[in-house]
Structure 1
Amino acid sequence: MSAETVFEVLDSWGVRHVFSCPGTTEVALLDAAVDHPSPELVLTTHESIAVAMADGFARASGRPGVAYLHTHLGLANGLAHLYCATLAASPVTVLTGLKPSTLAGRKGFTSIPHVADLVRPFCKSVRQAAHPALLGEDLHATITASVTPPAGPAWLGIPQDVLEAPADRHALRPTPRPRYRPDPSAVAMAAGLLAGARRPLIVAGDEVAKHDASERLEALALRLGAPVFAPPRHDLQFASLRTGHSHYCGRLDFDGDAVKRADVVLVAGQGTFQEFAPRMTPWFPDDVTVVHLSEDAAQLGRLSPATVPLAGDAGLALADLLAALADLPGPSGDAYLAECRAAHLAGAPASDPPDGGPGALGVGAAMAALARHVDGGTTVVSDCVTSQTALLDHLPRHDGRSLYSTEGGSLGWGVGAALGVRLALPGRRVLAVLGDGVFQFGLQGLWTAVRHRLPVTMIVLNNGAYQAVRAGLRRYGRRALATGVYPLTDISGPDYAAVARGFGATAFTVDSAAALDAALEESAAATGPVVVDVRLGAA
């Protein structure tokens, strides 16, 4: 049967898990699973969790993450988190079981005429299987598209009659994906500009961590005597430089003194910076020379002009830059680095902010307590919206697997993503830092976490409100600000620890830094999911 071909192709790619909330269009796959224990079918009780798990697994492992969704209804439920995977260039393959081909265009039960149109904005490849004999090739091509640089989600629709039909079973073997080096002449030009810079600045983009190139970035920073900045909050999804490095200077502020004084900026392994609101001024001053490196050539110079565009794999490109700099003069001095470093240290928050006592726990004190439990074997998955700044200010990042975050704005992603990360990194402790609104969106993930005994600690920052919306109303500056009445932002009331226990998870409720410390200490030995409801003081 064609369903067995699906298992064989996935197995040939080394896929270990398929995350799914199935329906009747997937019965042939479920039946074939009886004789095909690999890859493992992982049940989720909502499609958004399936997609987020596939995304988290793909980010942490670097291998394809696969979600199998049911008709256009399940696909629609997964689209918001698929957007997160798109922004992260995550190699996610989404398979969708469609109603039989004979219903196409007839508006039959759970079918629509143009289901592929739902995913076109989010996927680099969109295909629909048309014949059982070609299903293996279609699936192989879809996964190939998802992992080919620049990586990103790809979609394959599989009609029920195609999946259930007899087919010749042949699994195409994956071809190793090529890694691209940037043009040597562009590398030489970039090296010359960086070597001659008096105030070089480096931005450590996500692709550095994705390609395990952090050590090369560190070597380049030392060679140039350059300060290194993480991307701004809305672009920071991976940890590409450890926060303890002597050249780390915090997150980039486009309007800060460091950018204004730089003469050459290397944007290393980063696509176009994301606009939260329209930016009416250039990202970098006109007199700054910009060297922009990304494996996605379409991103180079898209919104911010680049003097030297470097299209290629971050690891290979950084190695080439280091080689090209070997015979060039050294840096002209380290005064600029010292100034940037001093400004970063002066602006760092207190390592032990005041707790305020029970019932008055602030987000800064909560994040400082959390940071005390983060070591080199810990991975943090962040989906905490307005608390993200405090988290990033306090969180130590030790390596490229220390942090996975999202810039997609899709609430609930962090619950499923953390479970996928834990499956990909079984040797690490995984802490999911979640807003209370995020947790309400992702509650369905608790069932999967409990069923598979995934030891993920979910820290719910419970401020009882959609604080991002309240902040928007404050910026708007009209009636809500004047009256202190913020419509449709109060989500207080649920007892998240009780809800978690109802699913079978271990749970704590805390309202002080000391109690949070104790809960995190106890959860370190847990053999299943733990939920910590952190009751923050009024904001």
Structure 2
Amino acid sequence: MPTARRIVHEFLERRGMTTIFGNPGSNELPFLAELPGSFKYVLGLHEGAVVGMADGYAQATGRPVLVNLHAAAGSGNAMGALTNAVYSRSPLVLTAGQQVRQAIGAEAMLANVEATQLMRPLVGWAGEPACAADVPRSLAQAVFEAELRRRPTYLSVPYDDWDAELGGNALVTLDRDVRRALTPAETDLATLTAEVAEAANPVLVLGGDIDTAGLLPRAVELAEHLELPVWVAPSPFRLPFPNRHRLFRGVLPAGIGALSDRLAGHDLILVLGAPVFRYHQHVPGPYLPEGATLVQVTDDAEAAARAPMGRSLVADPGTVIDALLGRIAARPAGRRPRFVPNEEPATAPKDLHPEQVFAALRETQAPGTTYVVESTSTNAAWWRQADLRESSSYFFPAAGGLGFGLPAAVGMAMGRPERPVVAVIGDGSANYGITALWTAAHYGVPVTFVILRNGSYGALRWFGGLLGTPDVPGTDIPGLDFTRIAEGYGVPATTAADLPELRARLKRPADGPRLIQVDTYLTTPE
């Protein structure tokens, strides 16, 4: 009879989940034994980097990804990175080895005590099989829960279960399939269509889920069809609309009062594929400007339920976009250019201004480049100089947790090798996921890592001013040399001292990982 391990391997193979990201320990070895040749195991040197790589891979491919962690210790190491995967709604399936069953109650070394509670409330579902015969079904549930909820799941498996021989009932798991569809009712579509058609000054607010679902081109079509100004919801983890499009108005601020001020004058605020709203800084004020109505369309039932204002429709945003395109007549656009040019980049008295770096990237990299950005103090400079027009062009840590950028870039390059990947990382952020450089070097992943070195936690300094605490310690990080660190991990690295040198280095094709360190002027997020 087949073992639990063989059945699970075949289930994963049938579903195309043959790339596993992990950092194994003793409890995990029985699962990894006899791994079929079609599988690829991607080793990371720290569980935070492992989850970051898997998050990037899942966002690049749009498919669930298996992550293999070591018991409670490895799971704990992964939790910081897991927060980003939760808010990017990445379907990660986290598995962790558990001690043999008879040793769990006695809390033997490496026993995962109350394993199902460890990763909550971050994961959408957590389980541990009641017996060896339930391992295949439990793993299948973890996969389906991740797909249905669009949220990571967690499964702890006692390692003596993998060798158990199972009967026919376990084999039926191989033929399981679960689908999800959210089609809005005709009455809801009719009501929304009438509201948009009759609004005097409607505005469109888009979230990262639009890009996740591949709806960026349709969102552009809708905005142009109805001549709607477009804002991106605050703290975007993906870009759902081209940022140099004539209808693009920018990224909404992450404070209640400031956001409301930006939307003043609009009578209908249509939010597609975003929570309402992911605030950050505490800026008091009304949720909505006077006279405005908000309608949210999202397939995330939790986001709809927790929204503090407006009306929410839990449905596929793509279906709603199609309905609005088909039911409302096009509005005249006039003769205007579709895209607007970038401003001249700002300069600085010392070192390069981040805008100069971003302008150099725009001018030297291919139009379809994927950018993974984790430099929070330079986001205003980024949006002034970036020119992103394609789907899957921009990724950012969805929960604001540092350590996403370096590993996520590696995972994205593995998941979509046909597109060049550039990681734009601050020197403060880089330290959190630095071990991903080894994985990039070991597997020859062609990523360009651009490290912006200003010797400071720039965003933290900005928050110090915002909170009236400008004199706190721990905001300076001098003395870091990422070229030497990168070379130690096996990644070729150079320093660009000026703009001509930076442009020359960026123009060279990347046939493997490379790191370019640039000293930059300290800016603030604005």
TM-score under structure 2 normalisation?
A: 0.92
Counterpart of 2:491 in structure 1 is: 505
Which stretch has the larger CA shift, 178-187 or 495-504? 178-187
Matches of 2:437 and 2:355 in 1, distance apart? Answer: 27
Please state how far the C-alpha of 1:15 moved relative to its aligned partner. 1.1
2:418 is aligned, of 411, 422, 427, to: 427
The letter of the residue matching 1:413 is F
Counterpart of 2:155 in structure 1 is: 156
- CA separation of 1:278 and 1:479: change in aligned 2, threshold 3 A: closer
Query: Secondary structure of the residue that 1:18 maps to in structure 2?
Result: strand
Counterpart of 1:265 in structure 2 is: 269
Please state how far the C-alpha of 1:4 moved relative to its aligned partner. 2.3
Asked if the contact 1:509/1:534 (under 8 Å) is kept, the reply is yes
Please state how far the C-alpha of 1:62 moved relative to its aligned partner. 0.6
Counterpart of 2:147 in structure 1 is: 147
Matches of 1:123 and 1:463 in 2, distance apart? Answer: 35
1:403 is aligned, of 372, 391, 394, to: 394
Counterpart of 2:128 in structure 1 is: 128
The letter of the residue matching 1:100 is V
Matches of 1:173 and 1:53 in 2, distance apart? Answer: 29
Matches of 2:259 and 2:238 in 1, distance apart? Answer: 23
Which stretch has the larger CA shift, 103-112 or 406-415? 103-112
Counterpart of 2:291 in structure 1 is: 287
Counterpart of 1:210 in structure 2 is: 212
Counterpart of 2:165 in structure 1 is: 166
Matches of 1:55 and 1:255 in 2, distance apart? Answer: 29
Matches of 1:227 and 1:174 in 2, distance apart? Answer: 44
Query: Secondary structure of the residue that 2:188 maps to in structure 1?
Result: helix
Asked if the contact 1:137/1:172 (under 8 Å) is kept, the reply is no
Where do residues 314-329 of structure 1 align in structure 2 (5 Å cutoff)?
314-325=317-328
Matches of 2:342 and 2:325 in 1, distance apart? Answer: 34
Matches of 1:108 and 1:179 in 2, distance apart? Answer: 45
Matches of 2:121 and 2:194 in 1, distance apart? Answer: 39
Matches of 1:355 and 1:517 in 2, distance apart? Answer: 17
Asked if the contact 1:508/1:532 (under 8 Å) is kept, the reply is yes
The letter of the residue matching 2:99 is K
1:365 is aligned, of 356, 360, 377, to: 356
The letter of the residue matching 2:211 is A
Please state how far the C-alpha of 1:350 moved relative to its aligned partner. 2.7
Asked if the contact 2:368/2:390 (under 8 Å) is kept, the reply is no
Matches of 1:237 and 1:479 in 2, distance apart? Answer: 28
Please state how far the C-alpha of 1:105 moved relative to its aligned partner. 2.9
Once the two structures are superposed, what CA deviation does each residue of 1:78-101 show, in whole Å capped at 9, x if it has no partner? 011111111111111111111112
Please state how far the C-alpha of 1:186 moved relative to its aligned partner. 1.5
Asked if the contact 2:287/2:309 (under 8 Å) is kept, the reply is no
Matches of 1:112 and 1:423 in 2, distance apart? Answer: 31
Please state how far the C-alpha of 1:402 moved relative to its aligned partner. 0.6
Please state how far the C-alpha of 1:37 moved relative to its aligned partner. 1.9
Please state how far the C-alpha of 1:279 moved relative to its aligned partner. 4.8
Q: Does 1:533 align with 2:526?
A: no
Counterpart of 1:81 in structure 2 is: 81
Counterpart of 1:313 in structure 2 is: 316
Counterpart of 2:233 in structure 1 is: 231
Once the two structures are superposed, what CA deviation does each residue of 1:92-151 show, in whole Å capped at 9, x if it has no partner? 111111111212232221224212212111111111123222211111111011011x41
The letter of the residue matching 1:37 is G
Identity of aligned residues (%): 27
Asked if the contact 2:267/2:292 (under 8 Å) is kept, the reply is yes
The letter of the residue matching 1:325 is I
Once the two structures are superposed, what CA deviation does each residue of 1:432-462 show, in whole Å capped at 9, x if it has no partner? 1111122111111111111100001111111
- CA separation of 1:60 and 1:538: change in aligned 2, threshold 3 A: closer
Asked if the contact 1:239/1:399 (under 8 Å) is kept, the reply is no
Once the two structures are superposed, what CA deviation does each residue of 1:459-483 show, in whole Å capped at 9, x if it has no partner? 1111111222222222333561xxx
Matches of 2:57 and 2:462 in 1, distance apart? Answer: 33
Asked if the contact 2:47/2:78 (under 8 Å) is kept, the reply is yes
- CA separation of 1:162 and 1:301: change in aligned 2, threshold 3 A: closer
Matches of 2:69 and 2:16 in 1, distance apart? Answer: 20
The letter of the residue matching 1:448 is T
Counterpart of 1:51 in structure 2 is: 51
- CA separation of 1:304 and 1:515: change in aligned 2, threshold 3 A: farther
Which stretch has the larger CA shift, 211-220 or 397-406? 211-220
- CA separation of 1:521 and 1:39: change in aligned 2, threshold 3 A: same
Matches of 2:321 and 2:355 in 1, distance apart? Answer: 36
Please state how far the C-alpha of 1:317 moved relative to its aligned partner. 2.0
Query: Secondary structure of the residue that 1:392 maps to in structure 2?
Result: helix
- CA separation of 1:479 and 1:196: change in aligned 2, threshold 3 A: closer
The letter of the residue matching 2:491 is A
Q: Does 1:388 align with 2:379?
A: yes
Where do residues 20-31 of structure 1 align in structure 2 (5 Å cutoff)?
20-31=22-33
Counterpart of 1:352 in structure 2 is: 345
Where do residues 441-460 of structure 1 align in structure 2 (5 Å cutoff)?
441-460=432-451
Matches of 2:160 and 2:383 in 1, distance apart? Answer: 49
Q: Does 1:61 align with 2:65?
A: no
Unpaired stretches in structure 1, ≥5 consecutive residues? 481-485
- CA separation of 1:392 and 1:118: change in aligned 2, threshold 3 A: farther
- CA separation of 1:173 and 1:246: change in aligned 2, threshold 3 A: farther
Once the two structures are superposed, what CA deviation does each residue of 1:273-322 show, in whole Å capped at 9, x if it has no partner? 11213453233224101121100133226334224x22111212211222
Matches of 1:101 and 1:282 in 2, distance apart? Answer: 55
Matches of 2:112 and 2:134 in 1, distance apart? Answer: 23
The letter of the residue matching 1:88 is S
Matches of 1:78 and 1:120 in 2, distance apart? Answer: 13
Q: Does 1:9 align with 2:8?
A: no
Once the two structures are superposed, what CA deviation does each residue of 1:469-518 show, in whole Å capped at 9, x if it has no partner? 222222333561xxxxx511221212111111111111111232222212
Query: Secondary structure of the residue that 1:498 maps to in structure 2?
Result: helix
Asked if the contact 1:13/1:173 (under 8 Å) is kept, the reply is no
Please state how far the C-alpha of 1:28 moved relative to its aligned partner. 1.4
- CA separation of 1:102 and 1:507: change in aligned 2, threshold 3 A: same
Matches of 2:470 and 2:409 in 1, distance apart? Answer: 39
The letter of the residue matching 1:28 is P
Query: Secondary structure of the residue that 1:32 maps to in structure 2?
Result: coil
The letter of the residue matching 2:24 is P
The letter of the residue matching 2:490 is G
TM-score under structure 1 normalisation?
A: 0.90
Query: Secondary structure of the residue that 1:290 maps to in structure 2?
Result: strand
Matches of 1:290 and 1:9 in 2, distance apart? Answer: 44
1:488 is aligned, of 474, 479, 486, to: 474
Asked if the contact 1:200/1:224 (under 8 Å) is kept, the reply is no
Matches of 1:490 and 1:142 in 2, distance apart? Answer: 42
Once the two structures are superposed, what CA deviation does each residue of 1:42-98 show, in whole Å capped at 9, x if it has no partner? 111111111111111111111012211000000000011111111111111111111
Once the two structures are superposed, what CA deviation does each residue of 1:8-41 show, in whole Å capped at 9, x if it has no partner? 12111111310010011112123212xx122211
Counterpart of 1:483 in structure 2 is: none
Unpaired stretches in structure 2, ≥5 consecutive residues? none
The letter of the residue matching 1:469 is L
Asked if the contact 1:353/1:368 (under 8 Å) is kept, the reply is no
